Structure 1
């Protein structure tokens, strides 16, 4: 949908793929299990770090009621219509892939989803800044989701909106019609899906 990411290629590979410097991001060890609430590398024209999950303090729904739950994924069908998303920015979450689960509780199977041939996937995302108690400002990000393609549909009813490298600037640009045109399922046949084994779900 996604519920967990992984980023295992070196940051230097990412900077080369995007043609940008690492800036303040620096390097980091391979991360097999990135969970909501953790910091993640984000591209918003430059590489930076943001907290995965938008704490919707001060945001209200269409009825004027406070939004209470943390937002880690936002539906593409409503992300530009809901009052809860007023004023958000747009960025990209670059990762090597993500995980989904199938099966009953305590008998779930984890699936690892990555691009065929390796490399990066670029998830469309929205951003926000939360002013925490004491005045600390926390940059936050949430992935945008859409209907699944035929590859992902057997294991989940949603998938992240994935972007071609050539479309990253369009996603972060001012042409809203062009942005909306990108929020479609990824072409079939370009993902490798296999059972995830050997992942420590309690650690990085």
Structure 2
């Protein structure tokens, strides 16, 4: 929802998709995991950010500190949950993502990408965590919604996907305009196949 990403195309294509002049150079990556850096578009440009929010100082609805790292944020609560207070919006561009079905030790990995072989853009939220000693760590969580008919057979959530025409609204628009984008991707636009030949321990 998503579980892991992959991004293997040349960086000049990524830049064209995001509408920027250039992006940080990144080698082909077949297995981008939570906790690793992902290329992220913010109002200030493209940078690398850690996938996973460390909610330092944030509290849940009961007033207790949020302890777990937040990899995904539910669209239904992203604008009103206290754990997300003060975060900003960003976009993560990838070639696709992976999900798993089945029981532990007998899971099937699924590779999800665009049917037209184009790139996909996930809505995300981000902030910058200041660690002890002053080190600053940009960090993000992807935003999820209910699945479309393509994804529903393998998962009960999917990431919110954006068209290039939506980028400016997501990054700069008001909450109402941004909330209108947090809907399942239209049916029939995704290709889902068993993931084969992926080194799950590697990049």
Q: Structure 2 length normalisation: TM-score?
A: 0.97
Task: Name the counterpart of 2:155.
Answer: 156
Unaligned runs of 5+ in 2: none
Q: CA RMSD in A?
A: 0.9
Task: Name the counterpart of 1:39.
Answer: 37
Task: Name the counterpart of 2:6.
Answer: 6
CA deviation string 1:8-50 (max 9, x = no partner): 1111101122221225x1x221100000000110011311110
Task: Name the counterpart of 1:169.
Answer: 168
- Indicate conservation of the 8 Å contact 1:122/1:163, yes or no: yes
Provide runs of 4+ in structure 1 moved above 3 Å.
none
CA deviation string 1:115-143 (max 9, x = no partner): 01212100000001111121101000110
Q: Distance in 2 between matches of 1:28 and 1:126?
A: 22
- Indicate conservation of the 8 Å contact 1:21/1:47, yes or no: no
Q: Distance in 1 between matches of 2:143 and 2:154?
A: 18
Task: Name the counterpart of 1:78.
Answer: 77
Q: Is residue 95 of structure 1 aligned with residue 76 of structure 2?
A: no
Unaligned runs of 5+ in 1: none
- Indicate conservation of the 8 Å contact 2:79/2:175, yes or no: no
The range that moved more, 45-54 or 92-101, is 45-54
Q: Distance in 2 between matches of 1:189 and 1:80?
A: 29
Shift of 1:96: 0.4
Q: Structure 1 length normalisation: TM-score?
A: 0.97
Q: Is residue 114 of structure 1 aligned with residue 110 of structure 2?
A: no
Q: Distance in 2 between matches of 1:40 and 1:34?
A: 8
Query: How many residue pairs align between the two structures?
Result: 202
Q: Distance in 2 between matches of 1:160 and 1:18?
A: 18
